[in-house]
Amino acid sequence: MYCPRSVYRALELLRGGRADDRWRDGFADRLTHPVPSRQAVNRLIRERGMRPDLRERSSIPVVRFARCKPAGPGEVAVTWVGHATCVVQIGGRTILTDPVWSRWIPGVRPRLTPPGLAFGALPPIDAVVISHDHFDHLDAPTIRRLPRDVPVLVPAGLRWWFLRYGFTQVRELDWWDTTDVGGVRFTFTPAHHWSKRTLFDTCKSLWGGWMMTAGEDQRQVYFAGDSGYGPSFAEIGQRLPGTDVALLPVGAYLPRWFMKPYHMNPAEAVRACGDLGAERMVTIHWGAFVMSAETPMAPLRRAEKAWLAAGRDPEGFWGLAVGETRKLTAAEAVVPGGPEVGEAAGNPG
């Protein structure tokens, strides 16, 4: 049975907790574009805006028998599990982003590709970061499988959701707030998106991305979560310079009349990478769930084309296969992940 946010807020107060009145009224004032209207959603459905041609789904690259080997001292490693779920190793710690292992999420067809790592093959997780509360980024069946004592970093207004599942180390952050877990500094950054999980909680919690910074050399990995293109990327690049790797969404961008305010297209993701000042880009948010009108491989192909057209170093384009790991060594040399994660092969579908 669903219990509203207000009930858990009251229970926390009764247990001696503290409610932050700054966030009582939600975050609608942070929107950079109105949330989708009912009329727009009806038009999207009527025009089959979430029913692309899926004949090339078997071309989505998937790594067989994937495993996540520990990163060495001073190394940064990224394993793409699928959609916006990544395992990030930085500063000797392992961070899990927007974990979704479910085969199905509400409102869309079953996933096109399996998760790149079996859940049981995950290394010990030092922290979990959540970008926002949409079902393809906050998956209750997966969250319930996590240890209840793992530190969970969430947007402002979302702590209550994890408390009801018994998590004991939940930290909620506003934009530009920071917190430290095991020597890794996490900064919650703005995004051009929105939040909603039920009919009654539109923009009641915040949305954003995460900058992870660690080590004497201040290595940085940026995880965007989900975002349209806008000036926040340049602001992040100015306030938090020196990003080594940016995990940026490239999928769910068609039709543009509907998606543009909320999801970047591949060319915009490349532009955002430049705004951030990042040398390398990992393509995420594609190849798993059918949420828009583009064909399955279009996000990766168009992102690589835009990267090269921008004159970027080809070695900096990390278009990972599902389950693939890529490493940045202490000497800043890119080490391909193929031999370390298994044999790449097309998804059998």
DSSP 270: H
Sign of the Cα torsion 208, 209, 214, 216 reads negative
- 76 and 113 in contact (C-beta within 8 Å)? no
Q: Which CATH superfamily is domain 51-346 in?
A: Ribonuclease Z/Hydroxyacylglutathione hydrolase-like (3.60.15.10)
Residue 339 has pLDDT above 80, yes or no: no
If one compares 146 and 66, the residue with the highest pLDDT of the two is: 146
Residue boundaries of the structural domains of the chain: 51-346
Buried b / exposed e along 193-219 (16+ C-beta atoms within 10 A): bbbbbeeebbbbbbbbbbbbbbbeeeb
What was the pLDDT predicted at 338? Answer: 39
- What average pLDDT does this structure show over 204-233? 96
What rounded mean pLDDT belongs to the chain?
90
Exposed/middle/buried for residue 272 (C-beta within 10 Å: 0-12, 13-18, 19+) = buried
pLDDT tens readout for residues 281-337: 999 999 999 999 999 999 999 999 999 999 999 999 999 999 999 999 877 633 334
What was the pLDDT predicted at 138? Answer: 98
Number of Cβ atoms within 10 Å of the Cβ of 152: 25
Say how far apart CA 250 and CA 234 lie, in whole Å. Answer: 18
pLDDT tens readout for residues 305-321: 999 999 999 999 999 99
Tokens 């069946």 found at: 141
pLDDT tens readout for residues 57-93: 999 999 987 888 889 888 999 999 999 999 999 999 9
Helix (H, G, I), strand (E, B) or coil at 290: coil
Helix (H, G, I), strand (E, B) or coil at 93: strand
Say how far apart CA 156 and CA 240 lie, in whole Å. Answer: 20
- 268 and 256 in contact (C-beta within 8 Å)? no
pLDDT tens readout for residues 161-189: 999 999 999 999 999 999 999 999 999 99
What was the pLDDT predicted at 65? Answer: 79
pLDDT tens readout for residues 241-283: 999 999 999 999 999 999 999 999 999 999 999 999 999 999 9
Least confident of 65-74, 190-199, 339-348: 339-348
Helix (H, G, I), strand (E, B) or coil at 229: coil
Which segments of the chain does DSSP mark as H helices, in order? 5-14, 38-46, 140-143, 159-163, 232-239, 256-259, 266-276, 298-309, 338-341
Residue 12 has pLDDT above 60, yes or no: no
What was the pLDDT predicted at 332? Answer: 62
Number of Cβ atoms within 10 Å of the Cβ of 190: 21
Say how far apart CA 96 and CA 98 lie, in whole Å. Answer: 7
What was the pLDDT predicted at 20? Answer: 60
Enumerate the β-bridge partners of residue 62: 322, 345
Residue 14 has pLDDT above 50, yes or no: no
Residue 343 has pLDDT above 80, yes or no: no
The share of the chain scoring above pLDDT 70, in percent, equals: 89
If one compares 14 and 287, the residue with the highest pLDDT of the two is: 287
